[in-house]
Every structure is written in C-alpha cells, then in structure tokens.
C-alpha cells in the first residue's frame, strides 16, 4: 500500500487522502508556485496507525526513508549530516481544516552536530542556535507533552539575566545557554534525553502528529464542526525555509480579502526575522501586511500576484502562509479562508460579479450556521458610554457577558447558565473549550490571524484581540483598562466590528438585511425547489416572517393565543366548567379573541397559506401548579375564595397524568371536548369571511395534531367541513379553498399513512414529537438527564432534537410520504418541528421530496439558503 506521496505526485482533489494542507501543497507545486519540497504521509496511514495500537507500522518505515532520500537528492543535502544538513518540518493536516488544533514541529534534523554545520554553512551562528532551541521546545511540547510554560519560563529567565526584552536581542551565546537549559528541562519532565538521532526525531514526530488527531482540543473542535472522528490526519514532511535568518527575512499570513468585512484588499500580518509559529501563536504582535509594501516592495508585489492566482485557482478567498528567506518568497500553505458571515456574503457576491465563480458555487460556499449571527447582533449606540479600550476587530458581532479570566471558569459558568466573555493575555488552542463557552473573546496580545481570532471567526463569535492598552492579570482574575479595574464577574461588552471594549452590558439592536444577503437570497430562490414557511403564532411574527421571505405559515400554534393574562382567565373558566353550558359560555368569550388573531395573521399573509393547528397541549398546562394553588388556599381570607381554590385544586388533581406528553392532548382533546375545536374552527372561518370581505385572499389549512389512527382524523375532518358549511355561505365557500390535514408525529400515524391520507389534504411532520416518540426520549427531560452523556460518549452523533435523525425518524417520514402519496399523488407534505431551520435536516427534507419546511421567522433566510444548497 502506498502511504507516502511526494508533493509532485498529488493534487487538490486528493484531500481525503492527503489532507487539506497536503493536497494544496501538491496543487501549488503542480502549478509552479514556490513551495519548499516535501512529501505527505496519508490519512490512511494515520488510520492504520491507530488500528495497530498507536505504533508506527513496519511497512511505513521504508516508504518514509525512501521519500526522505529523494528529498535529500533533490535538495543536495543530507538529513542528520553535520556538514550540509537537511532540515524539515513535520506538519499535521486534516481533511477538513482545523486551524491550530493539531501539532507541527519545525527545524527537525537539528542536533548538537548539525547545528554547528548549519551555523557554519549560513555563517550565522545566532540563527542556527535559535532554530535549535525552537526545535527542542516544540519537540518537547508535542512529542513528550511537556507544557510550553516550562520552556517559556526558562526563556524569560534568560532574557532577564541578559537584561533584554525581545527575543531578537538574544545573541548566539544566549541561545546556546538556553539550549542547555531546555535539554535539562526535557530530561527532567520526559525522563529521557532529547534525541540526537535525526531519524529517531522524525519517527517520533510523525507518531506524535498522528496522535495529535485525538488530543482534547481537536476532539472538541470536531464535535462543534461535525467533523467525523474517522477522518484522521495526514502528516506533511517539508524541507525548511527560514524567515529568521535576518532582516531580509520574515514570515506572515495573508488573506486575499478581508475576512471580517469581505473587502477586496489584502489583509494580514507578518513579522520580520521570525519563524512561522511566531505569527500564529500571538507571542509578538505582528505588523499589518501593508507595511510589507514599504519594507520589501518586490516581495509584496509578488505576494499580491500569488494571492490573485490562488484566488482564481480555488475560486475562493484564500488564507495563505508565506515565508521570506533572504529576499525570496515561499508559499507554505493555502486554504479557503475562514470568514465572518458578512464577509462570506460579500466575497461570494463579489466573486460572481468578477466572473470568478457562478451563483451555484457562491451559494454552496455559504456557511448557513453563520447567517444567524448576521441576522441578529448590533449594539444600540445610544447606550454606549464607557469605552475602556479599542483593540483589533478580529471577528464581528457584539458580545455581552461577565468577564472570566480562564477557560475552565468560562466553561463552568456557562454550564451554570451565565453569559461569559473570555479574557486572556492571548489564547492558545488549549483554551478552545473556553472560547466555545464564551459569548466573545478578548485578548491583549496577538493579531488578527492569531489562533483566538481564527477560531472565534470560525465559530461566528465576536472577538477583540491585540488590545495592548489593557493589562490582563489572569492569576488575580482582573484586568486594568483606562484606570478602571474589571474583576471576574463584572459585565463587559465587546464590539467585534470596531474592536471596542465597553464597560457594562450594552443592549442590542436588530440587524439589517444587507444588499449582499438580498442578492444571495434571490439566487437561492431561483435554485431551490423546497418551499420555506414560518412558524408564527401572531400577526407580528407573521409580518416578520413575510419580510424574511416566508411563503406561508407552516405552524400557527393556537394555544399560544391563550396565554396572555386577560385570556388565560377565560381559558381557565372554560377548563373549570362543570357543565357543557358553562363551558360554552367561556368559549363564546374566547371566540372573538381567536378570530381577531386569525384576522391579523390572514391579513399579514394575504394570498399565502396559513396552517393553523387546533389546540394541542394537555389542559393542565393552562392551570396553575398544585403547590401554588395550595399556597393561595392558605392565603385566602374568605370562605368563597377558599371554595374557589379548592375547586381548582380538585380540577388540577383530576387532570393529573403520569405521562402528560402521552396523555390527553392533541386530537384526543378535540374528540372528548368537540366544543373546543368547534369554537376554534368557527373562529378561523369567521376570520376568513371577514378578511375576504375586505379583499384579502385567505388560504386556511386546518391541522389536526397527534393523530394516530385514520378514524380520529375522519371524525374531526367531518367537524371542520360541517362548521365550514355553516359559517361560509355558498359564495365564500367557493372562494375559500381551505384544506384539512394532520400532523404526523405519532409513529403509528407514519405507519398507517395511506389510511390517514384518505382524510388528509396535507401531512405536516411534527418532528419534535415524532423524535420524542420514536426514540422514547422525553424531550423536556432528556437533555438534562442523559442525552448530554450520550453525546459525550458518542453513542449518538447529534442531539436528535436539533438534527433530524435521518436513520430512524427519517425512515418513518420517508415511509409516510411514500404511503400517503400512493393514495394521493399530490398530497402536500412538510415539516414543522425545530428541525425546519437546521441545514442537515433541510437537506434530508429536500431529498425525501417534501414540499416545504417551516421554521421560526428569523431562520427563514438560513432555510432558504440551505434549501438551495440541498438542490445544487
């Protein structure tokens, strides 16, 4: 089996095998860009490595050696050779980009002997020993798991003793001293010497990079981004180029467009006389890329050309790593750059306008989960008073929370329900669980391309970094800004658009729909076949939904109309009624209220279908809790009042059920108390008549919940038709093309869908209940009790209440669609659960041939794009 490919053998399409970094290094080599030579060990090798118990496979060794020999021949150098040593980096590279989550080691091949050779060869002692000390630190950290802090402390001590501040001020002699300290440090913590044998170094490094696939932060990152654990990482072995040989050298990261705003201008940072990790690790705050124009104009022009070329080649904004060695430019990595939602839209629309790509590709590139961010945030500027500091606007959006100064506390407090802002001098990839828990991230050091910034942007979280005027003291859990101390637990607000750090909790404002979003949504509408409806229970939500492009209402929950305080009292009277007459009286009072709501909704949706679900929840939900009533009873100060509370207590007791979600609810209510449904149906049709008389086109679709047997629907459909006949005169009857349908949310309904279809004009899959009943998980309890353990232990890939379980629940949906359509080919079908706004679930709906998805108003733009993506 071939486990090793030289860069000259691969190409961009080999990502699954070579990883993203490896495939792109090969692709860039292929098109003639200046890439240092090297080779890639495949992801298959990584999987084999884990299968053989995390041991280097015997068959890999000769392949590795052979590739190394070819590299030596090409470079005219020898690995481990004292006079002309080959040095390499060993770089992780997964299939799906996971910035900074895994490990890389530079300067491999250096030892006490080769370092002297390198010094002689380059006539630069300082440089050679600088490389060596970096190797020992990275190797110690990655291979032996020695925490970076131990090395950093030694470095600090050295600089202190030399009386210097910056690394660049340390001379060769200083580095030599540090190397001795580092070696002792390795010996003490790892219990063995730093390996002097170059081949041993390489083998250990490759193993360590394989293993880094399973380090904690990589696992968390995969979980958030739904990256399969089985992918594995490739390992790239690449000959070194050096940005730390002097002032005609440097290293940097450049985005071909601005990843925050999408503006078409190079964006990035670099450091003169530095090695790769220095920029991304955020230890020194780098220079903006524009400065390169004056520092090294030729290099800048060359870099700009490379950027254009790569952008055209990959048809997308690129995130590029480069190094300049003695006035020569090298490209070390390219990938599609992470970006904010706003930038993503602007870049996509611009690239279509520039003719680089087309609308289909543009749509596919939209990360729909980020649209949420775009459709909400924004500070209410009138409330911004105390700006504490301004840092780099690394990831836009506003974040409000209490300051915490370490990742563990961030995670804990978030679990306890608090909103937190993670504040760190700089974040390292070890902090990822804190970033995940935080509303936003603030750092005092590190640039726009530091890991904190990249990871925050990737998660769509606001981030302000490099805020150097703030003194952050993580030990004592506070920070000092503009003379003000902010302690752990104090409220702050971050504005990732301007980089402002603001004291207190600043209220947010709704975001506007930008031109780019409008354009993208137009394209989405041209491409998609799935319709997008909204869940809306009142006229205002209906208007919002329509403004966001809803093509109808897929779920109007009538019970929400009863929860307003003035109505709840009447509703309670209705439930408490002892006789049908009494109940009728209360219902008569409720009718005009419901009618008014429906009129408002019909008006807002003029000409579009409105799906109204008849009463669904168990009646006890409208009555107070038992202990609350008991308390009221004790407080009562008249006999009459006491009687009243006792009466209610008896009612609540009589309504008590052991499994209310499997109890007297949905159509079961309509069957036992037909007068309730009767009133609701009457209100719907009266509202329809009133609206039609005002010239509004009304398309009511009456939906019966929780049907499990065709007979239930048959009986209630007759009720609907009967009330319709009474309320709609012959004229209105003609113009009011109402539908009657059912929710499919009980597994038995899915199984008998052909019989149910006989009485239904449409099916709407209530995937919340359907998931609950198919899994047998109470959706109100599962998450807190056991579901999170299931997810942690990977017994389930996702929370099935968030991402539709295509494997199980999905079968029921497919079956029901197929059975329903076998009887009525034109049967309308859709879903109305929480899943209606989730992109994977939307893709499933598209594949299953549903007619529509219904989701909350703010998710409609997301759903329109996801539906288009599913159709491409």
Give residues in contact with ligand ADP (CB under 6 A). Answer: 36, 89, 91, 100, 104, 106, 238, 240-241, 276-277, 280, 321, 323, 332-333
Give min distance, CB of 782 to ligand ADP, in A: 37
Which of ligand ADP, Mg ion, none is residue 240 near (CB under 5 to 8 Å by kind)? ligand ADP
Residue nearest to Mg ion (CB): 769
Give min distance, CB of 504 to ligand ADP, in A: 36
Closest CB to ligand ADP among residues 303, 724:
303
Question: What amino acid positions are annotated as catalytic residues?
Answer: 451, 832
Give min distance, CB of 405 to ligand ADP, in A: 25
Closest CB to ligand ADP among residues 131, 481:
131
Which of ligand ADP, Mg ion, none is residue 395 near (CB under 5 to 8 Å by kind)? none
Distance CA 708, CA 666 (A): 10
Which of Mg ion, ligand ADP, none is residue 104 near (CB under 5 to 8 Å by kind)? ligand ADP
Which of ligand ADP, Mg ion, none is residue 106 near (CB under 5 to 8 Å by kind)? ligand ADP
Which of ligand ADP, Mg ion, none is residue 414 near (CB under 5 to 8 Å by kind)? none
Q: Answer for the pair 211, 100: CB distance below 8 angstroms, yes or no.
A: no
Distance CA 324, CA 299 (A): 8
Closest CB to ligand ADP among residues 240, 410:
240
Q: Answer for the pair 355, 366: CB distance below 8 angstroms, yes or no.
A: no
Closest CB to Mg ion among residues 599, 616:
616
Closest CB to ligand ADP among residues 277, 525:
277
Give min distance, CB of 695 to Mg ion, in A: 35
Give min distance, CB of 34 to ligand ADP, in A: 12
Closest CB to Mg ion among residues 411, 713:
713
Phi and psi based region of residue 256 (left: phi greater than 0; alpha: psi -120 to 50; beta: remaining) = alpha
Half-sphere exposure of 188 (CA within 13 A, CB side): 9
Q: What is the DSSP string of 372-441?
A: HHHTT--B-GGG---EEEE-EEEE-SEEEEEEESSHHHHHHHHHTT--EEEEESS--GGGHHHHHH-SEE
Q: Which residues pair with 78 in a beta bridge?
A: 85
Beta strands per DSSP E along 735-810: 739-744, 762-765
Q: Answer for the pair 232, 43: CB distance below 8 angstroms, yes or no.
A: yes
Beta strands per DSSP E along 543-655: 553-557, 609-613
Q: What are phi and psi of 159, to 5 degrees?
A: -65, -35
Distance of CA 759 to CAs 743, 763, 823, Å?
A: 12, 11, 11
Q: Answer for the pair 842, 853: CB distance below 8 angstroms, yes or no.
A: yes
Half-sphere exposure of 817 (CA within 13 A, CB side): 21
Give min distance, CB of 759 to ligand ADP, in A: 59
Closest CB to ligand ADP among residues 212, 841:
212
Q: Look up residue 490 and give its two tokens.
A: 């104090």
DSSP three-state, residue 72: helix
Which of Mg ion, ligand ADP, none is residue 868 near (CB under 5 to 8 Å by kind)? none
Closest CB to ligand ADP among residues 280, 757:
280
Give min distance, CB of 41 to ligand ADP, in A: 13
Closest CB to ligand ADP among residues 40, 238:
238
Which of ligand ADP, Mg ion, none is residue 323 near (CB under 5 to 8 Å by kind)? ligand ADP
Residue nearest to ligand ADP (CB): 276
Distance CA 429, CA 433 (A): 9
Give min distance, CB of 319 to Mg ion, in A: 9
Which of ligand ADP, Mg ion, none is residue 687 near (CB under 5 to 8 Å by kind)? none
Q: Look up residue 736 and give its two tokens.
A: 């009011």
Q: Which range touches Mg ion (CB under 5 A), out of 40-48, 201-209, 327-335, 388-396?
A: 327-335
Give min distance, CB of 36 to ligand ADP, in A: 5
Work out the number of other CB atoms within 10 angstroms of the CB of residue 671: 15
DSSP three-state, residue 442: strand
Spell out the residues 6+ positions from residue 690 whose beta carbon is closer than 8 angstroms to its own: 595, 599
Which of ligand ADP, Mg ion, none is residue 277 near (CB under 5 to 8 Å by kind)? ligand ADP
Q: Look up residue 701 and give its two tokens.
A: 């679709």
Closest CB to ligand ADP among residues 231, 544:
231
Task: Indicate which single residue of 439, 769, 805, 838 sits in contact with Mg ion (rule: CB under 5 A).
Answer: 769
Which of ligand ADP, Mg ion, none is residue 766 near (CB under 5 to 8 Å by kind)? Mg ion
Q: What is the dihedral of CA 726, 727, 731, 732, to 10 degrees?
A: -140
Work out the number of other CB atoms within 10 angstroms of the CB of residue 235: 31
Task: Indicate which single residue of 111, 333, 357, 535 sits in contact with Mg ion (rule: CB under 5 A).
Answer: 333
Give min distance, CB of 247 to ligand ADP, in A: 17
Give min distance, CB of 321 to Mg ion, in A: 5
What is the Rg, in whole angstroms, of the alpha carbon atoms belonging to the chain?
A: 32
Sheet holding 471-473, edge to edge: 471-473, 478-481, 484-487
Q: Look up residue 379 and give its two tokens.
A: 């500070």
Task: Indicate which single residue of 252, 496, 549, 766 sits in contact with Mg ion (rule: CB under 5 A).
Answer: 766
Instruction: Please give the distance of CA 295 from its chain centroid, rounded to a whole number.
Output: 39
Give min distance, CB of 308 to ligand ADP, in A: 20
Which of ligand ADP, Mg ion, none is residue 488 near (CB under 5 to 8 Å by kind)? none
**Residue 137 contacts Mg ion per CB under 5 A:** no
Which of Mg ion, ligand ADP, none is residue 741 near (CB under 5 to 8 Å by kind)? none
Q: What is the DSSP string of 263-302?
A: -SS-EEEEEES--THHHHHTSS--EETHHHHHH-HHHHHH
Q: Answer for the pair 490, 402: CB distance below 8 angstroms, yes or no.
A: yes
Which ranges of 609-665 does DSSP label H, i.e. alpha helix? 626-635, 639-655
Closest CB to ligand ADP among residues 89, 111:
89
Which of Mg ion, ligand ADP, none is residue 238 near (CB under 5 to 8 Å by kind)? ligand ADP
Distance CA 7, CA 333 (A): 12
Give min distance, CB of 291 to ligand ADP, in A: 18
Closest CB to ligand ADP among residues 24, 111:
24
Give per-residue burial for 247-280: e unless 16+ CB within 10 Å, then b: eebbbbbbbbbbbbbbebebbbbbbbbbbbbbbb
Site string for Mg ion, 705-744 (x = CB under 5 A): ----------------------------------------
Distance of CA 794 to CAs 48, 222, 728, 790, 840, Å?
A: 21, 12, 55, 6, 18
DSSP three-state, residue 111: coil
**Residue 40 contacts Mg ion per CB under 5 A:** no
Closest CB to ligand ADP among residues 34, 663:
34
Distance CA 613, CA 743 (A): 9
Binding site for Mg ion (CB under 5 A): 333, 745, 766, 769
């Amino acid at each position: 089996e071939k486990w090793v490919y030289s860069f000259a053998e691969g190409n961009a399409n080999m990502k699954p095998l070579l990883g993203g970094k490896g495939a792109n290094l090969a692709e860039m080599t292929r098109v003639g860009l200046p890439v240092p030579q090297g080779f890639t060990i495949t992801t298959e090798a990584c999987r084999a490595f884990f299968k053989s118990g995390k041991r280097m496979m015997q068959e890999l060794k000769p392949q590795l050696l052979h590739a190394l020999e070819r590299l030596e021949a090409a470079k005219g150098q020898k690995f481990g050779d004292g006079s002309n040593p080959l040095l390499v980096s060993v770089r992780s590279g997964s299939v799906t980009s996971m910035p900074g989550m895994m490990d890389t080691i530079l300067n491999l091949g250096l030892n006490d002997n080769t370092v002297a050779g390198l010094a002689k060869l380059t006539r630069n002692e300082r440089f050679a020993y600088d490389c060596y000390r970096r190797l020992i630190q990275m190797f110690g950290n990655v291979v032996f798991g020695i925490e970076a802090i131990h090395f950093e402390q030694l470095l600090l001590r050295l600089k202190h003793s030399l009386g210097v501040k910056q690394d660049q001020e340390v001379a060769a002699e200083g580095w030599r001293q540090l190397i001795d300290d580092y070696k002792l440090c390795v010996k003490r913590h790892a219990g063995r010497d730093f390996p002097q044998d170059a081949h041993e170094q390489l083998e250990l490094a490759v193993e360590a990079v394989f293993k880094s696939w399973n380090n904690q932060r990589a696992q968390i990152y995969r979980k958030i981004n739904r990256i399969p654990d089985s992918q594995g990482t490739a390992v790239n072995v690449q000959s070194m180029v050096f940005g730390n040989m002097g002032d005609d050298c440097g290293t940097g990261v450049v985005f071909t467009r601005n990843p925050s705003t999408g503006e078409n201008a190079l964006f990035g940072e670099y450091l003169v006389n530095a090695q790769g990790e220095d920029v991304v690790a955020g230890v020194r705050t780098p220079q903006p890329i524009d400065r390169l124009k004056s520092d090294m104009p030729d290099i800048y022009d060359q870099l700009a050309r490379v950027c254009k070329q790569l952008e055209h080649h990959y048809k997308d904004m690129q995130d590029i790593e480069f190094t300049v060695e003695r006035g020569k430019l090298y490209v070390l990595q390219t990938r599609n750059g992470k970006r904010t939602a706003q930038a993503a839209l602007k870049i996509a629309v611009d690239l279509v306008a520039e003719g680089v790509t087309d609308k289909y590709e543009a749509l596919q590139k939209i990360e729909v989960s980020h649209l949420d961010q775009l459709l909400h945030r924004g500070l209410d500027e009138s409330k911004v008073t105390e700006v504490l500091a301004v840092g780099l606007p690394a990831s836009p959006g506003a974040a409000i929370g209490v300051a915490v100064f370490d990742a563990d506390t961030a995670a804990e407090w978030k679990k306890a329900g608090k909103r937190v802002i993670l504040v760190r001098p700089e974040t390292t990839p070890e902090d990822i669980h804190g970033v995940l828990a935080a509303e936003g991230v603030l750092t005092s050091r590190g640039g726009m391309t530091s890991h904190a910034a990249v990871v925050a942007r990737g998660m769509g979280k606001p981030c302000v970094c490099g805020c150097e005027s703030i003194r952050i003291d993580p030990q004592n859990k506070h920070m000092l800004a503009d003379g003000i101390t902010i302690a752990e637990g104090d409220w702050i607000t971050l504005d990732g658009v301007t980089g402002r750090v603001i004291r207190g909790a600043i209220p947010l404002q709704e975001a506007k729909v930008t031109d780019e979003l409008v354009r993208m949504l137009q394209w989405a509408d041209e491409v998609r076949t799935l319709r997008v409806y909204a869940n809306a229970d009142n006229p205002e939500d209906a208007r919002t939904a329509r403004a966001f492009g809803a093509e109808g209402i897929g779920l109007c929950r009538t019970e929400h109309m009863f929860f307003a305080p003035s109505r709840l009292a009447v509703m309670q009277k209705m439930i408490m009624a002892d006789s049908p007459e009494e109940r009728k009286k209360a219902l008569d009072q409720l009718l005009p209220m419901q009618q008014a709501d429906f009129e408002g909704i019909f008006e807002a949706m003029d000409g579009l279908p409105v799906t109204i679900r008849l009463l669904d929840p168990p009646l006890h939900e409208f009555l107070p809790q038992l202990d609350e009533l008991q308390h009221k009873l004790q407080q009562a100060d008249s006999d009459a009042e006491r009687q009243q509370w006792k009466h209610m207590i008896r009612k609540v007791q009589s309504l008590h059920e052991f499994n209310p979600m499997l109890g007297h609810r949905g159509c079961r209510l309509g069957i036992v108390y037909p007068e309730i449904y009767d009133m609701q149906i009457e209100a719907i049709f009266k509202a329809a008549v009133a609206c039609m008389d005002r010239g509004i086109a009304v398309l009511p679709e009456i939906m019966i919940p929780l049907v499990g047997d065709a007979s239930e629907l048959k009986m209630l459909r007759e009720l609907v038709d009967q009330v319709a006949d009474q309320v709609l005169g012959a004229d209105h009857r003609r113009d009011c093309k109402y539908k009657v349908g059912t929710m499919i949310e009980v597994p038995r309904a899915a199984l008998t869908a052909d019989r149910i279809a006989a009485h239904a004009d449409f099916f709407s899959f209530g995937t919340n209940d359907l998931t609950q009943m198919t899994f047998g998980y109470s959706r109100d309890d599962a998450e807190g009790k056991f579901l999170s353990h299931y997810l942690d232990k990977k017994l389930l890939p996702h929370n099935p209440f968030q991402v539709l379980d295509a494997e199980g629940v999905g079968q029921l949906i497919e079956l029901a669609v197929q059975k329903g359509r076998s009887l009525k080919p034109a049967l309308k079908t859709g879903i109305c659960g929480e899943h209606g706004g989730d992109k994977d679930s939307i893709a499933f709906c598209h594949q299953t041939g549903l007619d529509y998805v219904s989701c909350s108003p703010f998710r409609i733009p997301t759903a329109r794009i996801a539906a288009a993506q599913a159709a491409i």
